[in-house]
Amino acid sequence: MKRIFAAGFFICMSCQSFAAASFTLPSKNFYLGVGAGGMFYKTSGNNYLNTGPGWPNDYYSTNGVSSQPYGLLAAGYTWQRKKTWLPNYSLGLRYMFASNASISGNINQYSLPAFKNYHYSYDVQTLTVLAILKADIYRWNNLMPYIMAGAGVVNYSTPNYSEQALVGVTPRVSPAFGGVGGNNFAYQLAVGLDYALRQNVLVNIEYDYNNYGTIRTGKGANYVTATGANFDNESLKNKLSATSLFLGVSFYVG
């Protein structure tokens, strides 16, 4: 029994020694990163637009927004600690670019459910630059779970407004909201997992929450309708956020 206990203790200690020896912290501090994944947008906020003196507003509901692929580039500096807890933390910049997504919904003329007469959509594209703070929480062999927070600016554009009359409805003259660009404060919160593929190469998988603030279309067409409405001083606006999941790799270069 003593021999079995001693053998088990020796094997356990050997496994721990192997686990500790098989992981080597990066020997360099500056890193460059790339990644790609999916952006799952969410919108909130509906619009009520003037239809002319004495008439109820048109109600523009929001049904949702399409999900899109996205990519990112990153660079920064990492401080290493030869510790099991908080083995490293870093400051950096992250540039994220996503394909055009489509926001869509329905139009109830005069805010009447019986007058849900049109379907509309417009596109949104985002380019985001964030300053990020990342901290690996714990090191177990080659694996390190981490948390991250970032804040910065999102540049958005909202082109390609269109609308279609539903079945049995006579098409109207479209408000033709124009495309426009703008900048908002943006922030990101994330959790992820680093895996040390080699000494100076980390592979990571990350799940994020992204908030982009309120986006707007351009003004509508300068056209007076039969009820006296003119859309040249109207636009659509929606709050935009997203969750995202990506796979990335970081190279320590200096």
pLDDT of residue 162: 95
The rounded average pLDDT for each run of 10 residues, N- to C-terminus, in the chain (254 residues) is 42 40 71 97 92 92 92 96 90 95 95 95 96 96 96 97 94 92 97 93 97 96 86 93 97 91
- Residue pair 178/152 in contact (Cβ under 8 Å)? The answer is no
Mean pLDDT of the chain: 89
Residue with tokens 């990112």: 72
pLDDT of residue 24: 66
In sequence order, which residues have a C-beta less than 8 Å from that of residue 5 and are 6 or more positions away? none
Q: In 3-state terms, what secondary structure has residue 5?
A: helix
SS3 content of the chain, % helix, strand, coil (to 5): 10, 60, 30
pLDDT of residue 208: 97
Containing H/E element for 8? helix 2-21
What tens digit of pLDDT does each residue of 20-37 get? 445 566 778 999 999 999
pLDDT of residue 230: 87
Specify the CATH number for 2-252; select among 3.90.190.10, 1.10.10.60, 3.40.50.1980, 2.40.160.20.
2.40.160.20
Residue with tokens 């200690």: 13
Angle at 129 between CA 127 and CA 148, to 5 degrees: 120
Could you tell me the pTM of the whole model? 0.85
pLDDT of residue 81: 86
pLDDT of residue 7: 43
Instruction: Determine the residue type at 225.
Output: T
What tens digit of pLDDT does each residue of 150-189 get? 999 999 999 999 999 999 999 988 999 999 999 999 999 9
Q: HSE, CB side, 13 Å, CA atoms: give it for residue 70.
A: 27
Domain coordinates in residue numbering, the chain:
2-252
pLDDT of residue 45: 86
Structure tokens at 249: 């790799």
Structure tokens at 144: 């390190």
Residue 177 per-residue DSSP state: P
